[in-house]
């Protein structure tokens, strides 16, 4: 297969970690007989330095013309970098919001996996962490409270603020379909999270998710309330496969789910539209504190590339091979500094990329 990938290396550790993901993709191409063509474009601080804006229309057009986008992290040190002296709409992160909107990316996929080899980093009790977990949070990204009408005004002399939580059935249906499609490629279970005992938007959410579920009889669906889910995440995270939820609940729960893995350098993420097109990036930031030192953990970005293979290119075997190579490297005691533990071998960012590519 021939696939075109738009590559946004980003800022600080971005170029280091994306280079390693490309190394692994090249190995996949060689091994499985594919061609991956890269189209490198700028975004974030790197784009500000060249074009004066964090994202140009030309970059967006390049991304649209590709089969998927692979991205590193955007942004710099928010206290010292000159990028943060610019007005908010000109700062690096403004590019992130604009690209998601321009590409119609409404579904955010955040896997949260506790590898047995790294269970020591999990802040949960040993009897819980020893079971491991492997879940994916499917968060609606372009609706709900963050995009609803908002205002602050004085009512009868009292300052009053209003935010609006609005979803229509189409917005719910398209993200629910994504969740069921992804569940079909995993353990075939969807937990839909809402607050249907209080909110109308949640009651509509439940109704539409139930309708979508009828088209996926192989997938087990359960509904759960967000407050109880927040508790279950720390009590028994192994019960979850795909967790489907609206924007704000997903924002909070996905941070909780990533925290219990204990290692930010291992967390992949993807944002998708209705088609198979997606933007794949690590969950962490650009880590200015370790930039340019060849110290960063490239695994989150390599796992994001594996998600691209699985969800945008339908290359299941290839994605499995990348994930297995990562597990093999961990089994062999190879670690970057952030996940280092006694008795293991510490590698640089590029050495970890080499080690994973060799194991494919
Ligand atoms: P951060 O995630 O960059 O760093 C937090 C800590 O985690 C740091 O100690 C860092 O060294 C470490 N870390 C992160 N990724 C790592 C990796 N791959 N390997 C090893 N260690 C890693 O968060 P921050 O310091 O709050 O933000 C730094 C910059 O990143 C800011 O400009 C912020 O706006 C930006 N940011 C960008 C994105 C994105 O591009 N989607 C997301 C979050 C933050």
CA 228 to CA 349: how far, in whole Å? 39
For residue 175, give the DSSP letter: H
Residue 7, pLDDT score: 98
Residue 158, pLDDT score: 97
Residue 310, pLDDT score: 95
Contact 20, 349 (CB under 8 A): yes
Catalytic position from the list 131, 146, 189, 354: 146
Catalytic position from the list 215, 236, 255, 289: 255
| Catalytic status, residue 255 | yes
Ligand 1 geometric centre to CA of 41 (Å): 21
Helix boundaries (H) for 33-152? 45-51, 57-65, 92-102, 126-129
Ligand 1 binding pocket (C-beta < 6 A) is 13, 17, 73-76, 78, 93, 96, 264-265, 281, 284-290, 296-297, 300, 338
Residue 263, pLDDT score: 84
Nearest CA to ligand 1 atom 1: 285
Averaged over 1-25, what is the pLDDT? 98
| Catalytic status, residue 280 | no
List pLDDT tens digits, range 63-96.
999 999 999 999 999 999 999 999 988 999 999 8
List pLDDT tens digits, range 209-256.
999 999 999 999 999 999 999 999 999 999 999 999 999 999 999 999
Ligand 1 geometric centre to CA of 268 (Å): 13
Asked whether the predicted pLDDT for residue 19 surpasses 90, the reply is: yes
List pLDDT tens digits, range 140-172.
999 999 889 999 999 999 999 999 999 999 999
DSSP 211-245: HHHTT-TTSEEEEEEHHHHHHHHHH-GGG-SEEEE
Ligand 1 geometric centre to CA of 167 (Å): 31
DSSP 6-46: EEE--STTHHHHHHHHHHHHHHHHHHHT-EEEEEEE--THH
| Catalytic status, residue 146 | yes
Nearest CA to ligand 1 atom 43: 285
Residue 312, pLDDT score: 97
Residue 34, pLDDT score: 98
Asked whether the predicted pLDDT for residue 60 surpasses 90, the reply is: yes
List pLDDT tens digits, range 305-357.
999 999 999 999 999 999 999 999 999 999 999 999 999 999 999 999 999 99
Asked whether the predicted pLDDT for residue 120 surpasses 90, the reply is: no
Averaged over 243-272, what is the pLDDT? 94
Contact 9, 18 (CB under 8 A): yes
For the chain, domains (ranges, CATH) are: 1-108+266-360 (3.40.718.10), 123-260 (3.40.718.10)
Which pairing describes strands 133-140 and 107-114: parallel, antiparallel, or unpaired? antiparallel
| Catalytic status, residue 216 | no
173 or 263: which carries more pLDDT confidence? 173
Per-residue pLDDT band for 176 (boundaries 50, 70, 90) equals: very high
- Single pTM value for the model: 0.93
Catalytic position from the list 251, 276, 328, 354: 251
| Catalytic status, residue 332 | no
Asked whether the predicted pLDDT for residue 264 surpasses 90, the reply is: no
Residue 121, pLDDT score: 85
Q: Of the candidates 43, 38, 36, which has an alpha carbon nearest to the alpha carbon of residue 14?
A: 43
Beta strand ranges found along 115-164 (DSSP E):
133-140, 150-155, 158-163
* Mean per-residue pLDDT over the chain, rounded: 96
- Among all chains, which residue has been given the structure tokens 């804006």? 53
């Amino acid at each position: 297969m021939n696939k075109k990938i738009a590559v946004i290396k980003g800022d600080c550790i971005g170029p280091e970690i994306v280079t390693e993901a490309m190394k692994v993709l090249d190995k996949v191409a060689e091994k499985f007989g594919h061609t991956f063509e890269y189209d490198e474009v700028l975004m974030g601080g790197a784009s500000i330095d060249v074009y004066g804006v964090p994202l140009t229309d030309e970059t967006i057009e390049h991304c649209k013309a590709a089969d998927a986008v692979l991205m590193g992290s955007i942004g710099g040190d928010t206290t010292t970098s000159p990028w943060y002296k610019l007005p908010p709409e000109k700062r690096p992160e403004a590019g992130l919001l604009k690209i998601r909107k321009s590409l119609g990316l409404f579904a955010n996929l955040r896997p949260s996996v506790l590898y047995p080899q790294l269970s020591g980093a999990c802040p949960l009790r040993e009897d819980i962490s020893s079971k491991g977990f492997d879940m994916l949070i499917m968060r609606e990204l372009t609706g709900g409270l963050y995009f609803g009408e908002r205002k602050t005004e004085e009512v009868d002399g009292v300052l009053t603020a209003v935010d609006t939580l609005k979803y229509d059935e189409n917005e719910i249906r398209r993200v629910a379909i994504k969740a069921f499609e992804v569940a079909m490629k995993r353990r075939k279970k969807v937990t839909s999270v809402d607050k249907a005992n209080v909110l109308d938007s949640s009651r509509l959410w439940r109704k539409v998710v139930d309708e979508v579920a009828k088209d996926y009889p192989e997938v087990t669906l359960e509904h759960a309330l967000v407050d109880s889910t927040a508790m279950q995440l720390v009590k028994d995270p192994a019960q979850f496969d795909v967790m489907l939820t609206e924007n704000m609940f997903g924002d909070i729960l996905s941070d909780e789910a990533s925290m219990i893995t204990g290692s930010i350098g291992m967390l992949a993420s993807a944002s998708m539209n209705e088609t198979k097109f997606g933007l794949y990036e690590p969950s962490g930031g650009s880590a200015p504190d370790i930039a340019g030192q060849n110290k960063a953990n490239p695994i989150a970005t390599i796992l994001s590339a594996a998600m691209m293979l699985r969800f945008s290119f339908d290359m299941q075997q290839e994605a499995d091979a990348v994930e297995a190579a990562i597990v093999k490297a961990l089994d062999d005691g190879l670690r970057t500094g952030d996940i280092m533990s006694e008795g293991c071998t510490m590698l640089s960012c590029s050495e970890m990329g080499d080690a994973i590519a060799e194991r494919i």
